Amino acid sequence: MINIDEIGKAFSDRFGHAPELIAQAPGRVNLIGEHTDYNGGFVLPVAIEHRIYMAVSTAGDNVLRFYSMNFQEEYRTIIKDQPLRKAVSVDWANYCIAVIEELRQTGIKIPGLEVVIQGNIPIGRGLSSSAALEICTGVSLRELLDLNIPDKELALLCQRAEHSEYVGVECGVMDQFASLLAQKERALFLDCYTLEYKTVPFPVEQAEIIIFDSGVKRELVETEYNQRREQCAEGLRLVRLALKKDIPTLRHCSPEEFESIQSLIPEPVRSRVRHVITENQRVLDSVRALEQGDMNAFGQSLNESHASLQKDYEVSCEELDTIVETAQESKYVFGARLTGAGFGGSAIAIAQPESVNEVINKVSKVYEGRYNRVLRYELTKPAPPASVLHYSIR
């Protein structure tokens, strides 16, 4: 657990005064709806209990000063009339700089800042530590500078920050929305085309979320993530031609329509499109199952999602498949699948709370016997969204 007082003390020790505020933003885990967000589809994430914390004050100069307690690294840069430079050797600072630069491009004047950051979101496991850092920067500056930026607009601004040259990942909007808008003990059902959303009850008394780390590290910029986006764009072009209508996204092609035209689309684009279209339907089925309290139906959708990600979208790996398949064999698990972009990262299992340890032990034994390394895991329940937690007087 992160100790807020320790962050405040670290800030005071470094800068000689208390921070003006401390903010927090959670990571997220996506229950279902993978690679649908950038295709205008549906997603169903929850905010997790792991999060980024940021102590912030304005400074009386034009210098941005960032310090990471996790990495024990400092980054400084000067605000000038021209765009900020990308941090070359301190990657984590670029997420903060990207948000600041997006705010500057809207005409907002950013003063000098003093910032101390600490977090406990596991990095590289598909839990969106990057979006949490962006959102934490955004809510901090919104509060500190008294900016009138609605939540939706701030989430979209942080998404643009991740698309920018400072980060370079063409992510969908799910991660930022989940960090900013999810609610405790509820999942966030988000329509990524209209940006309409609602929260859906998650039965914490019946189910707990286990997040298993596959042990396979992946950096989205260096993987095939952007290639999958390009394949989906090509798929949309071909679907439009086959249907002879100008649908705006793949989400607007029904499973029945796709079934009638799929033979006209070459592989591997056909399989990529099939995943997106069927995954959207699985999200809708999952929302209905949660609203009706049917955890078995919900779990079945998760299992089918993994099979589609494995075979049609081809973003799984051996380690993820081992974790998921072993978890699915347990009678105490409703469903399991990879979560996040894939290519490594994490898998989730939705398990009965009283049998969580038994599930973890079973999966760990198989994994460790096969790969000769310890399987790391986290437990979480749907958690509260980003907020400003604490004020101190200078």
Q: Is the pLDDT of residue 393 over 60?
A: no
Cα gap 211→88, rounded to integer Å: 32
Section 237-263 average pLDDT: 97
Mean per-residue pLDDT, 67-74:
96
Residue 337: strand pairing partners: 348
Q: Distances in Å between the alpha carbon of 225 and those of 52, 153, 194, 341?
A: 24, 25, 23, 7
Residue where the block lists tokens 């779990």: 299
Rg of the chain taking only CA atoms, in angstroms: 21
CA dihedral for 90, 92, 96, 97, sign (positive or negative): positive
Calpha distance 320→303 (Å, rounded): 13
* Mean of pLDDT values over 303-316: 97
Q: What is the mean pLDDT of residues 263-277?
A: 98
Q: Which candidate in 37, 91, 151, 175 is catalytic?
A: 175
Round to whole Å and give the CA distance between 176 and 234. Answer: 26
Write down the domain spans for the chain.
4-201+385-391
- 175 flagged as catalytic: yes
CATH dotted code for 4-201+385-391: 3.30.230.10
- Supply angle C-alpha 308, 310, 311, rounded to 5: 70
Q: Is the pLDDT score of 394 beyond 50?
A: no
Q: How far is CA 361 from the centre of its chain?
A: 27
Average per-residue pLDDT in the chain?
Answer: 94
Instruction: Give me the pLDDT at residue 49, please.
Output: 95
Q: Which residue has the higher pLDDT, 228 or 2?
A: 228
pLDDT at 83 exceeding the cut of 80: yes
Residue 112 phi/psi, 5-degree rounding, is -60, 150
CA distances from 250 to 192, 195, 243, 281 (A): 12, 16, 12, 12
Question: CA-to-CA distance for 83 and 105, rounded, in angstroms?
Answer: 9
- Strand 21-32 to strand 377-380: parallel, antiparallel, or no bridges (unpaired)? unpaired
pLDDT at 170 over 90: no
Residue 339's φ and ψ, nearest 5 degrees, are -135, 150
Which of 55-69, 124-138, 228-242, 278-292 bottoms out in mean pLDDT, i.e. has the lowest? 124-138
Q: Give the global pTM.
A: 0.92
CB 173 within 8 A of CB 41: no
* Two structure tokens written together for 241: 């031609």
pLDDT for the residue 378: 94
Q: Is 28's pLDDT higher than 90?
A: yes
The beta strands (E) that lie in the chain are given as 21-32, 42-59, 63-68, 73-78, 112-119, 186-191, 197-201, 208-213, 333-339, 346-351, 377-380, 387-391
**Residue with the larger pLDDT of the pair 330 and 125:** 330
